[in-house]
Amino acid sequence: MNPLDQLIEALRILPGIGPKSAQRMAYHLLQRDRAGAARLGQSLGVALERLQHCARCNTFTEAEICERCASPQRDASLLCVVEMPADLAVMEQTHSYRGMYYVLMGRISPLDGVGPRELNLEKLIARAADGVVAEVILATNFTNEGEATAHYVGEVLRTRGVKVSRIARGVPVGGELEHTDIGTLAQAMVERRSL
């Protein structure tokens, strides 16, 4: 295979990129933006070489333990479980949580062949049982896959004596019932709480 075909093949590994798009990207990199292409190649190499999963929270980090996990300012008794780094980022924007995180890097999705082995749930189980964590907060998405993940992680941790909670769902803050989608409203009724 010549280098051009090799590049096109390599680009096709990206999600949503078919042969046509891969070809377009390859020509763009070689013809229009050779400096950008060099930067891309270099940063890819550096990232692959230097980044690893944090031993504690599973996000990408250069050190063995990431800055957030090493920080003494954070409450080590709380562990918030999210699906992806983007979820962690948005949770941080709330400025209302000062505990630790664990990023699953996915969710249980039986029809995509993603189960406990693919997610390496053993690592989370070991992390939650470190003796310092007093409560695990499950903040996976409110999709079927997120719910399945929360249910099983919750069950497994509960049987090991860890206190487990799930973030609440319902009508959004500032939301009016009239304009709330009916699925959310129906579930808010099912999950109503007594005052």
* Shortest distance in whole angstroms from residue 61 CB to another protein: 26
- Residue 102 to residue 57: CA distance in whole angstroms: 4
Find out whether 100 and 74 touch, Cβ atoms under 8 Å: yes
Q: Residues 106, 82, 51, 110: what is their CA dihedral angle, to the nearest 10 degrees?
A: -10
Binding mask 125-144 toward another protein (x if CB under 8 A, else -) reads x-----------------xx
The one segment of 22-30, 35-43, 56-64, 108-116 that binds another protein by CB under 8 A: 108-116
CA R_g for the chain: 21
Binding residue for another protein, selected from 23, 37, 184, 188, defined by CB under 8 A: 184
Check residue 162 for interaction with another protein (CB under 8 A): no
Residue 15 within binding range of another protein, rule CB under 8 A = yes
Tell me how far CA of residue 55 lies from CA of 46, 80, 121, 137, in angstroms.
20, 15, 13, 19
Residues contributing to the site for another protein (CB under 8 A): 15-16, 108, 110-117, 121, 125, 143-144, 147-148, 151-152, 156, 181-184, 186-187, 190
